[in-house]
């Protein structure tokens, strides 16, 4: 899964064809399996597969807060409680589903915002929100290894530097490359985020990760807090990194965690 994280890129143009019935079964099984996992705060999260009735429209369409997409044959989406814990759990589970689909060769892209779609609204239980959609289908172009490398290099250059995001005990002490958890944090740096703002900030203190949210000024108002969903994605990536080191993690609210000025404390992850 680490290689999937490193090679994944957003797909906004899909092949102009429908999802086959066999592939629909594969996608649905990924969603069903994902919902069997218990997220950190045990919030009920529902995930859905939705075919796009306008898949063969020749026009690109803007979906959600941002993101023009073309020839989208289907979407995955879901609903959750509109609470901090619910949105963290949603990001945590939805990212698992997205990575599993990419691993199987499907193209995807995270799209957040307020969705004007009656079908989606019908999915949400009373009090819940539908915070995210991800188009899913067959990537609409084939890239050579050289093209993929150049694209990955460009996307990497657009991201914040490691030292701008993470620190050891305080943010004046960067996490050096020889640190045992450097590669775990690198997986967070590569994670997707709304508007690519990379709002996560993380302090490592021995075997504890303290996660903070750097709020984006003038972030578009939405029914659900997309930046908190981003933190759920970060938790997932940390867990994947820890698993690669034969460790696991326990997510909890730590009253003793540092509270740096200007940052919103979210959770802590204790390495087991």
Could you read off the pLDDT of 21-61 as tens digits, one per residue? 999 999 999 999 999 999 999 999 999 998 887 555 545 45
Range with the lowest mean pLDDT among 106-115, 124-133, 247-256? 124-133
- Architecture field, domain 158-271: 3-Layer(aba) Sandwich (3.40)
Alpha helices by DSSP H, listed for the chain, are 2-7, 21-35, 84-103, 118-123, 145-157, 162-165, 182-189, 226-244
Positive or negative, the Cα torsion across 252, 255, 260, 263? positive
Say if CB 232 and CB 88 are below 8 A apart: yes
Q: At what angle do helices 21-35 and 84-103 cross, to 10 degrees?
A: 140
Q: Specify the CATH number of the domain 2-137.
A: 3.40.109.10
Say whether 158-271 and 2-137 share the same fold: yes
Whole-model pTM? 0.89
Domain spans, the chain: 2-137, 158-271
What's the rounded Cα separation, in Å, for the pair 175 and 196?
22
């Amino acid at each position: 899964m680490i290689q999937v994280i490193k090679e994944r890129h957003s797909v906004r143009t899909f092949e102009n064809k429908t999802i086959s019935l066999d592939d629909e079964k594969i996608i649905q099984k990924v969603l069903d399996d994902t919902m069997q996992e218990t997220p950190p705060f045990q919030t009920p999260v529902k995930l859905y597969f939705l075919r796009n009735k306008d898949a063969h429209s020749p026009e690109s369409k803007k979906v959600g807060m941002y993101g023009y997409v073309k020839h989208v044959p289907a979407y995955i989406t879901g609903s959750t409680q509109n609470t901090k814990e619910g949105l963290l759990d949603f990001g945590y589970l939805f990212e698992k589903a997205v990575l599993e689909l990419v691993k199987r060769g499907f193209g995807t892209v995270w799209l957040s915002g307020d969705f004007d779609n009656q079908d989606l609204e019908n999915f949400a239980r009373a009090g819940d929100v539908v915070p995210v959609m991800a188009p899913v289908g067959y990537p609409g172009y084939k890239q050579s290894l050289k093209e993929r490398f150049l694209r990955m290099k460009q996307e990497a250059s657009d991201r914040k530097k490691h030292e701008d995001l993470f620190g050891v005990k305080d943010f004046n002490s960067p996490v050096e490359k020889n640190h045992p958890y450097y590669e775990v944090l690198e997986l967070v740096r590569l994670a997707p985020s709304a508007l690519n703002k990379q709002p996560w900030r993380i302090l490592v203190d021995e075997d504890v990760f303290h996660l903070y949210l750097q709020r984006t000024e003038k972030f578009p108002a939405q029914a659900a807090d997309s930046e908190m969903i981003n933190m759920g994605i970060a938790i997932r990536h940390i867990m994947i990194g820890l698993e690669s080191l034969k460790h696991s993690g326990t997510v909890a609210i730590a009253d003793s965690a540092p509270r740096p000025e200007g940052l919103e404390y979210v959770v802590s992850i204790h390495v087991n």
